[in-house]
Structure 1
Amino acid sequence: MRRRKLHAYAQALGSPSYLAIGDGPIGDAEYARLLDRIARRAPRGFALQFGSARRVIELGLLGHVVLSCSTLREVLHVWLSHAEAAGELVRVSAQVDDEAGEWITTLYADRILSAAARRFCVEELTATFFAFCHDVTGDSYADFIAEIEHDAPPCLTVPDALQASLRFGCGRNRIAGPSSVLNRATTGRDDETFSLLLDQLAHVKPADGVAARCGALGQSLMNYLLLGHSRVPSQGDAARWLGMSKRSLVLRLQGEGTSYSEILDDYRRRYAMALLDEGALCTKQIAHAVGFIHENSLRRAFRGWTGVSIGAWIRARN
């Protein structure tokens, strides 16, 4: 998740030379150092703009769980329970007082962050909060107040997507609004998918295969495929969703050393194996879930992925 986020920063900033991302795991200290570099060199207001443009889908498996929640209250519970999966160095806590009709979310920046990085992360996460809320409900949040400890930078332009009232120079970093908002329904409610993905999130493992080596665009495409559920989008559909032409998608994926068909095959492999491991769906249902028209297509593909039949794989797992 951290690597994906840093690649997104680099892309938005024009791939600067100071943001050199190594190949190994990105620990807290290394992540804090890179965030400091970004915060000191990024244009004023970049963090707010970047956060306002984020999508829930960028959170990978956690994002898919959030998108299948039924209400914003459920989203908040999932986020607070599994926020560490996103790898942020800003912790979030929430207090909900239904009697007083108030909902307060407080942001605590990790002490490992420099002052510049703390300012950057708080601004970005504040804007991301409203972007994500709008993403899952489609509603606006103009009745919320976002408070930030540090003073406003000069010549700051607040993005239109940040609909809340933004105040700088406050006593703490927090977001406050009416608790009735928590009862708003989400647009992607899917109880069966929610249960399956939530169980997977509890046993999340490092990515392997294509997902482990593809870049930011490949990761975005992988996440988009998971959103499709029973319908696998065409390459043209994926290109339009990603905001580019089909040719640009092909060339950029080639630059990352992969292709649409390779990512689609890896998506099907990972998701089918996760659902088989879960055991709640039959083989035919799983075939449809990962976009195969016929169950036999899944069985042939599975033997190609693993070298064994689905039945033999399940028996070995058991």
Structure 2
Amino acid sequence: MTQRTQVRLGDLSVGFVQPLGEALRELGHDPQPLLQRYGLDTARLAQAGARLSIPRYMHLGHAALTLCGDAALGLRMGRHSRLAQAGLAGVTAAQAPTVGAAAHALLRFEPLYASNYRGRSSFEEDPHGAWLRFYSISPYNAYNRFVVDSLLSGWLNQLSSVGGQVLVAERLQLEFAAPAEAERYQALCSQAVQFGAQNNQLRLSRAALDQANPQHCPGTWQHLLQLCEAELEQLTRVRSLRERITHLLGRQLSSGREPSLEEVAQRINLPSWTLRRQLAEEGTGFRELLNDTRRDLAEAYIRDTALSFGEVAYLLGFASAEAFQRAFKRWTGLTPGACRRQQRRLA
């Protein structure tokens, strides 16, 4: 029997906690008791390379929202976001020659400071500007919407520091429906904010992307780029093929449709027969990985999020909530409801 690669929803640098704490202080709340409750003391926050799981970050954010009562806390956090909080990738972006180069570096090297096993951010440039797109777990609730708010507003604040001018998006699109505080998003965009869109993304104009960075040092920029590329290569190299496929499957499972072996092989630039052979050499197979990935993600969603069982079923590609619940009982011996209650008693 092969050992399963445990799938987590992802993790991020503890640097993301800093703007949350500063936003709470701005609202007159001491963040320390809350951070202590989540094991984020001074020593933990100062630990090199320390990471925080995405579900734990979501729970922390929800607790902060409950504490301060400000539904737009994520937007406030964005105003306190700085490039250095993204670690080496952020420091590198701060040395870019232009705002556009900084944005590209920040998103290209995202795996160095954040990893979401269902998707990742992207930078899509054209002659007239660029879209900066953020992937988020959906459907949306109080646990995850603040993450979108803080990241998109944070990008604008971080990139404003590169060009030395306050950046406003040409367009801002958000997947969730307009909340009660919708007017507070408008400060981020020169046009009307679009809610209920296909993606979470903002668009920067060509003029904004071409803003020069007065702090740019060419030699330092090239050195930092080399360091980021080396770290990114190391992250990829240490993963086995089984781990790479597991994480890829986690991203592709959605909307009642299973990815095929041929689709996955194409994504990693291997012939399907080569992928099948190499997986066999690692003691596993594509169907086994698909089933294990679905099971591990199911356990992570039930354990670490407040998503409804219907939402989890949708995210994992089940035809119905009932089909998901039957599979979960077969996997674990518990219903999803019993598993969640058990986890809450242990928390």
TM-score class normalised by the smaller sequence: 0.5 to 0.7
Is the contact made by 2:83 and 2:90 (CA closer than 8 Å) also made in structure 1?
Answer: yes
TM-score (norm 2): 0.50
Determine helix, strand or coil for the equivalent of 1:44. Answer: coil
| Cα 1:153–1:61 shift into 2, 3 Å | same
| Cα 1:84–1:36 shift into 2, 3 Å | farther
- Determine the C-alpha separation between the residues in 2 that align with 1:95 and 1:17: 41
Following TM superposition, the consecutive aligned residue runs of length 4 or more in structure 1 with deviations greater than 6 angstroms are: none
Q: Which of 6, 16, 20 is the matching residue for 1:9?
A: 20
Determine helix, strand or coil for the equivalent of 1:175. Answer: strand
1:184 maps to which residue?
211
Which amino acid is the alignment partner of residue 73 of structure 1? G
Q: State the 1:9 CA deviation.
A: 1.9
- Determine the C-alpha separation between the residues in 2 that align with 1:64 and 1:18: 28
* RMSD between superposed Cα atoms in Å: 3.2
Q: Which of 96, 113, 129 is the matching residue for 2:125?
A: 96
| Cα 1:158–1:114 shift into 2, 3 Å | closer
Are 1:197 and 2:224 an aligned pair? yes
1:151-198 Cα shifts (integer Å, max 9, x gaps):
444356638974644615231322124334322211211111112222
Aligned counterparts, 1:40-59, within 5 A: 40-42=66-68, 43-59=70-86
| Cα 1:120–1:102 shift into 2, 3 Å | same
2:98 maps to which residue?
71
Q: State the 1:66 CA deviation.
A: 0.8
1:269 maps to which residue?
none
2:135 maps to which residue?
108
| Cα 1:76–1:120 shift into 2, 3 Å | same
Q: State the 1:120 CA deviation.
A: 0.4
Aligned counterparts, 1:225-304, within 5 A: none
Determine helix, strand or coil for the equivalent of 1:110. Answer: coil
| Cα 1:154–1:27 shift into 2, 3 Å | closer
Is the contact made by 2:13 and 2:86 (CA closer than 8 Å) also made in structure 1?
Answer: no
1:21 maps to which residue?
38
- Determine the C-alpha separation between the residues in 1 that align with 2:107 and 2:51: 24
Are 1:132 and 2:158 an aligned pair? yes
In structure 1, list runs of 5 or more residues that go unmatched.
206-318
Aligned length: 202
Q: State the 1:83 CA deviation.
A: 0.9
Determine helix, strand or coil for the equivalent of 2:130. Answer: strand
Q: Which of 148, 166, 170 is the matching residue for 1:122?
A: 148
- Determine the C-alpha separation between the residues in 2 that align with 1:166 and 1:120: 20
| Cα 1:3–1:106 shift into 2, 3 Å | closer
Determine helix, strand or coil for the equivalent of 2:38. Answer: coil
- Determine the C-alpha separation between the residues in 2 that align with 1:7 and 1:55: 9
TM-score (norm 1): 0.54
Identity within the alignment, %: 18
Are 1:149 and 2:152 an aligned pair? no
Which amino acid is the alignment partner of residue 93 of structure 1? S
2:270 maps to which residue?
none
Q: State the 1:104 CA deviation.
A: 2.0
Determine helix, strand or coil for the equivalent of 1:109. Answer: coil
Is the contact made by 1:73 and 1:183 (CA closer than 8 Å) also made in structure 2?
Answer: yes
In structure 2, list runs of 5 or more residues that go unmatched.
1-11, 25-29, 45-49, 233-347
